[in-house]
Every structure is written in C-alpha cells, then in structure tokens.
Amino acid sequence: MALLEVNDLTTYYKLKEGTVKACEGVSLHVDKGEALGLVGESASGKTTVALSLMKLIPENASIIGGSIKLDGKELVTATEEEMQKIRWKEISIIFQGAMNALNPVHTVGDQIAEVLKIHEKLTDKEARQRTRDLFEKVEIDPDRVREYPHEFSGGMRQRAMIAMAIACNPKLVIGDEPTTALDVMVQAQVLQLLHHLRQEIDMGLILITHDLSVVGETCDKVAVMYAGRIVELGPTETVFTRPAHPYTRALLAAFPDIEGERTMASSIPGNPPNLLYPPPGCRFHERCSEVIPVCREEQPPTITINDQHYASCHLLSRRVKS
C-alpha cells in the first residue's frame, strides 16, 4: 500500500467572477521514504495541491471531488478535529515563507515545544529537551531556542520550520518551495539538510520547487503540473531524459543546465491560461508547438507509457493506437 494515494483530487476556489479551477483530477502516489518533486510554472496549482493534502485550504476553496488516502485513511472526508491529530504527527508542511508560518509573539523554541506537547504528549521538560535536540539536528545552536522569529536570519527560520515539520517524525513532509526566499548558498544547505533528514527518519517527501536541478538530485519521481492538471508523472530520470509531454519538454528546454549550476530558467513563450476560464481541450494547446485539431476540443487521456510513467497528450494516444 502506498503511503499517500491521491486520486482525481479536484479543488476549486470561488470568486465573485466565477470558479477558479486550480486543481483538477490530480492523481499521484508516494511510497514510504520516497521523494516526489512537483514542478510547473507559477500559478499551475502546486500550492493548491499541497494545501488540499493538509486540508488547510482557504475559506473560499473547497475540495469538490477525489480522494486523499494517507496510510489508508481517507482525508477528504476527515473532520477538522481528526485532521488536527493527523497534521504535524503524520503529515506536515514547510511553507514558502517561514516568517508567515512562525508566530512573532512566541519564541521559536516554545512554538516547537508546543507541537511536541500536543501531539507527542511530552511534558514541558521533555518537550524543551527534544526541541534542543531538534535545533541541533537542523544545525541551529540549541541556546537560541529562547529567541523570537525576528531574531533569526531567513535561513535559520527556514531551518526552524523544518525542525517543526519533522518534530513528530511524520510519515510525509511537504515542502512548498521551502527555500525560495533564501540566497543560493543557504538554499543549497537547507535542501541538503532536508534530503539528509528524510533519509535519516525515512519519511516521504513532496518537494514543490521550480528548480529542476534540485528535483534531479533529490527526488525519485517527478510530477509536472500545468494549469491545474498533472500532465506527466514518472521516475525523475526517465522524465528528464525521455520527457513524453510537450510541456515537460518546454520546461526542460527552459532549464538547460539540470546537472550543473542552478541557472535561472528562461521562460516558455506565452502565458498559462487564466484558471477562471481554462480553455477547452488540452489546457496547454495555446502554447503547444505540436498542437493538432483535436487538442482544442478534447481533453487528452492519460496514457501509460510504462508501468510508472504517465502523460496526458493526444499525440501519445495516436502513437499507442497506430
């Protein structure tokens, strides 16, 4: 049984103007100890997927269909009370900007200790000791547990967020662009730390990032998202060396140096569609250099290229038929 099994997950936002179809028919799975990279341009729905998995979607959002099974337990229908027992203990998240996630009026140490007291039922003293151990684990001087978030550097806050996310040894951690706000050197250190800790406590990881080289270095599998849908999913090496979807190829071409320096991605010509009014057919058709007439009308089916590699494109179904 997979650790996380997501099937046909669909999450929409309601706005005055209409419905934002931000995540539609998303299916993926993560095994114990496995790392899945989730990539795609900005506004493709990656954060919406992450927040849906945590059941932390904003007020104007709702999960309108699909299933999220964590260790066999359905989360879509779980109550908020049940989710409060599952969050941090079984599934946790490292947000993009740690400053927003940490409470400015409590010390960083107290905030982590609080999580341990609630979820691990530790005494005050035990929680304090374990927080110091966690600080050491994420390479922060344990004496700094008494400091407030604003006294920490950006890199330290991100490390503290990692400490909080792994505090209860969760089975799955989601990192939503956990290093985006940091400078390149610190980014590399924080990602290395996350990778190392993942192996140490054998946790599953979903790493959302626009840095394809990080995915290449640390993720077993990769899911490529475009305009609210996963367009390709497979083992990282296969997807990077033999991409099956035109969007994946465009994304890889915009990021020429996967193995070397973290070069900035150039951009793919055109813009992703407004998800209030997604185009019919394949959502990529307006930008696709390989578009054929059916792409403008029919949503492409998901084709199994081999047992672990899937992509949704009309060209592939033609190839399979012929």
Site string for Mg ion, 34-53 (x = CB under 5 A): ------------xx------
DSSP structural state of residue 266: P
**269 is a contact residue toward ligand ADP (CB under 6 A):** no
Which of 37, 45, 246, 273: binder of ligand SF4 (CB under 6 A)?
246
Instruction: Tell which one of 10, 44, 111, 248 touches ligand ADP (CB under 6 A).
Output: 44
314 touches, from Mg ion, ligand SF4, ligand ADP, none (C-beta below 5 to 8 Å by class): ligand SF4
The nearest distance, CB 105 to ligand SF4, in angstroms, is 49
Q: What's the Cα-to-Cα distance from 127 to each of 112, 113, 121, rounded to whole Å?
A: 8, 5, 9
Choice between 178 and 300, CB closer to ligand SF4? 300
Q: 224 and 200 in contact (C-beta within 8 Å)?
A: no
47 within 8 A of 100, measured Cβ to Cβ: no
Instruction: Kindly state the smallest distance separating residue 26's Cβ from ligand ADP, in Å.
Output: 11
Contact flag: residue 248 with ligand ADP (CB under 6 A): no
Binds 288: which of Mg ion, ligand ADP, ligand SF4, none (CB < 5-8 Å by kind): ligand SF4
Residue 201 engages ligand ADP in binding (rule: CB under 6 A): no
Question: Which one among 200, 257, 290, 297 touches ligand SF4, defined by CB under 6 A?
Answer: 290
Window 12-41: contact mask with ligand ADP (x via CB under 6 A): -x-x----x-x-----------------x-
Cα–Cα distance measured from residue 248 to residue 68, given in angstroms and rounded to the nearest whole number: 25
- Rounded Cα–Cα distance for residues 53 and 317 (Å): 30
Pick 45 or 281: Cβ nearer ligand ADP: 45
Q: Return the residue of 17, 58, 105, 125 that touches ligand ADP, per CB under 6 A.
A: 58
Buried residues in 170-208 as b, exposed as e (16+ CB within 10 A): bbbbbbbbbbebbeeebbebbbebbbebbeeeebbbbbb
What are phi and psi for residue 114, nearest 5 degrees? Answer: -60, -45
- Say which DSSP state 243 is in: -
For tokens 């229908």, name the residue. Answer: 77
- Candidate residues 26, 39, 168, 282; the one interacting with ligand SF4 per rule CB under 6 A: 282
Closer of 98 and 311 to ligand SF4 (Cβ): 311
Contact between residue 230 and residue 47 where contact means Cβ atoms under 8 Å apart: no
Q: How far apart are CA 287 and CA 271, in angstroms?
A: 8
Q: CA end-to-end span of the chain, whole Å?
A: 35
**Residue 285 interaction partner, one of ligand SF4, ligand ADP, Mg ion, none, beta carbon < 5-8 Å per kind:** ligand SF4
Pull the structure tokens for residue 174. Answer: 């989601």
Q: Are strands 302-306 and 309-312 parallel, antiparallel or unpaired?
A: antiparallel
The owner of tokens 């941090």 is 88
- Contact positions vs Mg ion (CB under 5 A): 46-47
- Contact positions vs ligand SF4 (CB under 6 A): 245-247, 282, 284-285, 288, 290-292, 295, 300, 313-315
